[in-house]
Structure 1
Amino acid sequence: MALASFQYLFSCILLFALLSDAHPSPFEFLKNLQGSQKGDKPQGLNQLKQYLSKFGYINSNIHNPNVQSLESEDNINNDHIFDDALESAIRTYQLNYHLKATGILDAKTVASMMLPRCGVSDIINGHSRMRAARKRTHHHHHRTVSHYKFFSGSPKWPASKTNLTFVFENNTPAEAATAISRAFEKWASATHFTFTRIENNISALCNTTADITIGFHSRDHGDGFPFDGPYGVLGHASPPTRGSLHLDADEPWSIGPMEGHIDMETVALHEIGHLLGLEHSSVEGAIMYPSVSDGMTKDLHGDDVQGIKELYHTV
């Protein structure tokens, strides 16, 4: 079922505009760069560098204030050249997403990069790379030790804090709140946490602050990480214990699988994982994998649950 009320809240014609392709993905520019490799000077290369910077593959002062920005004088002249740094960044991306690590922007890499995804970086300040160490078994096969990752410093909720309260901002449609609440219930059933919803008016009346605040926002919404419209960045969430979860109001959300739409509960499951302390996983079946296709639903995976149990030292 599509979130009809959600669509009407923001634009009664949004759904029809999306279906007529009036709002292409913000990652559409990647199509024109397919096949690019070191030494090339294609149009739109600066957009590719901004994309890779946004998700942590190229150093930027957005992710680390001590690192020189891409817009510095030294880099402006190189902005339109496929250089060594860009080749290295693409190779790292390919390794993280189990693609052939050529450093060339081939068709499979472009297809992967164009998928709607979480706004949390895959690499933060040079840490939390998605790919995992592998070891050989006695059958001479490689087995991955772990895919899940934690934020740098492994922040987590204190041991005494097993019940987390959450509240929805006033602009949250009822159907969306129900789907997100189901996502919390799934995490509760797989972890030592319980989650309690506080109604916004009760929270204000009792002057209580919930541990987690959830809201829908469009474009620049004041946190330094603006959304980009349909089929781009779907949402982002803070590591423990800041408790902030933002979802893009301009996405074509749905409850359950629907072609051309993004499943609300799937994205909420992913972002709650960040709220609990999980970074991105390189396991494609894991909920903490960074991207998701339209019309797709996902559930918690053993990799996600194993990660939380290790982080909190629970059995």
Structure 2
Amino acid sequence: MLLQHIQNLEPKWPANKYHLIYGFAQGTPANAVGAVTRAFETWAGNTRFSFSRAKSVDSADLKISFGSGEHGDGRPFHGPGGVLAHAYAPANGRFHYDADETWVVGAVPGGMDLETVALHEIGHLLGLEHSSVEGAVMLPGIRAGFTQSLHADDIQGIKALYNT
């Protein structure tokens, strides 16, 4: 299954913006809130970034939502088995899951792990491109029924991007 990154002209967050606030659109499933929060905690533990959750998605730097088909950003989803999710590079901050996929928490046969996909898409939100290193969470696709965590390549990539 594919994951997508949409690049803009700002490849990374400015030095004065290492605390980012994330928020969830109304209707986000509870299991996704927990999975995405854990993914932010993982990135925080491996970068100079810190994250906190907004009370309202409107005040967030990073906006997480689920959508189907044309969902308002000009990058429509095409149903199960296509692009699972996409995120925009800094400082756009949008992260969309395809609501038509089978989303799960953990390694469930036939399901796509919410946290693994969040780790990948947060990498894009922070400015990372896709990796070609086997085992990296930033590979352009994941398999159903599996989980992944950050790989040394993911961590080295973010450190190189932000010179840390």
Is TM-score (shorter-chain normalized) higher than 0.5? yes
Amino acid at match of 2:163: H
Please state how far the C-alpha of 1:284 moved relative to its aligned partner. Answer: 2.1
1:141-160 matches, cutoff 5 A: 155-160=11-16
Return the TM-score normalized by structure 1: 0.50
1:75-94 alignment runs, 5 A limit: none
Runs of 4+ in 1 over 6 A off after TM superposition: none
1:304 to 148, 151, 154: 154
Structure 2: unaligned runs, 5 residues or longer: none
Q: Which residue of structure 2 lines up, in the alignment, with residue 161 of structure 1?
A: 17
Which of the residues 65, 74, 78 maps onto 1:228?
78
Residue 4 of structure 2 is matched in structure 1 by: 119
Counterpart in 2 of 1:170?
26
Gaps of 5+ in 1: 1-115, 122-150
Contact 1:254 1:261 in 2 (8 A): yes
Q: Which has the higher helix share?
A: 1
Give identity over the alignment, percent.
54
Query: Hey, what's the Cα distance between the residues in 2 that align with 1:227 and 1:238?
Result: 15
Give the C-alpha shift of residue 119 in structure 1. 2.5
Name the counterpart of 1:179: 35
Q: Secondary structure of 1:274's partner?
A: helix
Supply the RMSD in Å over aligned alpha carbons. 1.5
Residue 154 of structure 1 and its aligned partner are, at CA, apart by 6.6
Aligned residues: 164
2:92 aligned partner: 242
TM-score relative to the length of structure 2 = 0.95
Deviation at 1:152, TM superposition (A): 7.7
- Counterpart among 50, 60, 75 of residue 194 in structure 1: 50
Q: Which has the higher contact order (CA 8 A, sep 6+)?
A: 2
Aligned ranges 1:21-36 → 2 under 5 Å? none
Output one character per residue of 1:124-167: Cα deviation in whole Å (capped at 9) or x when no partner.
xxxxxxxxxxxxxxxxxxxxxxxxxxx68671111111110000
